[in-house]
Structure 1
Amino acid sequence: MISVLWGIVALCWMVLALIPVIGITNWLLIPFAAVGALIAAVGILFTRSENRGRAKTGLILNGIVIVVAAIRLSMGGGLI
């Protein structure tokens, strides 16, 4: 459950970071989403198979945020 909430916060932050001047916050967003993905991975490893849906959703959300933020950083040269 924590990883899903973490992913939703990261997703909202990512949408805000798509604004050109605020794009530099992607440098903070990628580690933030990586922590959320790590929490989801731990949730997948240490829960029973029928209760892994939320952890998988959190992993997917945080993964999407990491990929989009990395693409956005590469497009702006890491600065904007």
Structure 2
Amino acid sequence: MGLISLLWGIVAMFLMLIAFIPLVGWANWLVIPFAAVGAVIAAIGVMLSDKGSNGRAKAGLMLNLIVVVVAAVRLNLGFGVI
């Protein structure tokens, strides 16, 4: 679960960076739910793994949460259009 969530977060980050291009800001409407699903997968991975072996799941959780926050701020700045 940890590796899946980390890879999911990397893909979400890549999609978010593409959405920084002017006039492609509407893609953040798709990135936020995508990253939220990755955060849920990561949270499940953190809960199900042992204390010493949940580093990738924690990293995936943090990465997905950062993507959600940055994409939401970007939507607020551009009003979801640009």
Q: Which of the five TM-score ranges fits, normalised by the shorter chain?
A: over 0.9
Determine helix, strand or coil for the equivalent of 1:61.
Answer: helix
Deviation readout 1:15-47 (Å, 9 max, x if unpaired): 100011111000000000000000000000011
1:65 & 1:20 partners in 2: Cα distance? 18
4+ residue stretches of structure 1 with deviation over 4 A? none
Where does residue 58 of structure 2 map in the other structure? 56
Where does residue 29 of structure 1 map in the other structure? 31
RMSD, matched Cα? 0.5
Identity %: 59
1:28 & 1:16 partners in 2: Cα distance? 12
Count of equivalent residues: 80
How high is the TM-score relative to the length of structure 1?
Answer: 0.98
How high is the TM-score relative to the length of structure 2?
Answer: 0.95
Q: Flag structure 2 segments of 5+ consecutive residues without an equivalent.
A: none
